[in-house]
Structure 1
Amino acid sequence: MNEISVSELAAVSAPSIIDVREPDEFAGGHVPGAVNIPLGQLQGSDLPEGPVYVICELGGRSARATQYLAGQGVDATNIAGGTTAWREAGLATTQD
């Protein structure tokens, strides 16, 4: 499984990020530009074009989602440590 750290992700220009947390978790703060597709709704969802980066709160759900997407032929990369690691690195979140 492909995996990237939050600091490596922060250096990617215009990444397509899928946040697989539930809507209430997503609303509480997320990586800017992330699209919320809860893990339970991932199958059959429209995904962004090209490679996608998958995030959750700590990394467990996003790891499962990344494995699923990779099995579907999607170029998916898990974000290690999730939104928690993003915040701990001092990176900004947004609420929208």
Structure 2
Amino acid sequence: MIHEVDLSSFATAHGNGAYVVDVREPHEYIAGHVTGAVPMPLGQVPARMGELPTDRPVYVICASGNRSLTAAEWMNDKGVDAWSVAGGTGAWMRAGGPITRGAGPA
């Protein structure tokens, strides 16, 4: 089952310290990502499932919401409570959400 969260609910969760995974490619992540997001390109998700928490929701974001839906489905199949962020980073930026540029989560 695929879970999707709207921007308003994601903003609340993010403000409360949500665990966020960005499944875009490294050059996309560096150009601007949700502050605090952990970089995990889509192709790496299956091999890195063990890094994800299982005791709280994981919010998955990409550019527009397509790759994050795929990643969230994979994660949910492995017992992770994963939620795809509707509209992705593009919608987050347009809504004025905090963005960090550079290589590491911040």
Normalised by the length of structure 2, the TM-score is: 0.85
Q: 1:72 aligns with which of 72, 75, 78?
A: 78
The code of the aligned residue for 2:5 comes to I
The code of the aligned residue for 1:88 comes to R
Distance 1:63 1:56 in 2: 9
Distance 1:82 1:14 in 2: 18
SS of residue matched to 1:26: helix
Q: Between the two proteins, what is the percent identity of the paired residues?
A: 46
Instruction: Point out where structure 2 has 5 or more consecutive residues left out of the alignment.
Output: none
Matched, 1:61 2:64: no
The code of the aligned residue for 1:47 comes to L
Residue 88 of structure 1 deviates from its aligned partner by 1.2
The code of the aligned residue for 2:78 comes to Q
Residue 44 of structure 1 deviates from its aligned partner by 2.1
Q: 2:35 aligns with which of 32, 51, 54?
A: 32
Residue 75 of structure 1 deviates from its aligned partner by 0.5
Counterpart residue number, 2:8: 7
Residue 95 of structure 1 deviates from its aligned partner by 1.2
Q: Could you tell me whether the CA contact under 8 Å between 1:31 and 1:83 is conserved in 2?
A: yes
Distance 2:53 2:100 in 1: 20
Residues matched between the structures, number: 96
Distance 1:51 1:88 in 2: 24
SS of residue matched to 1:44: helix
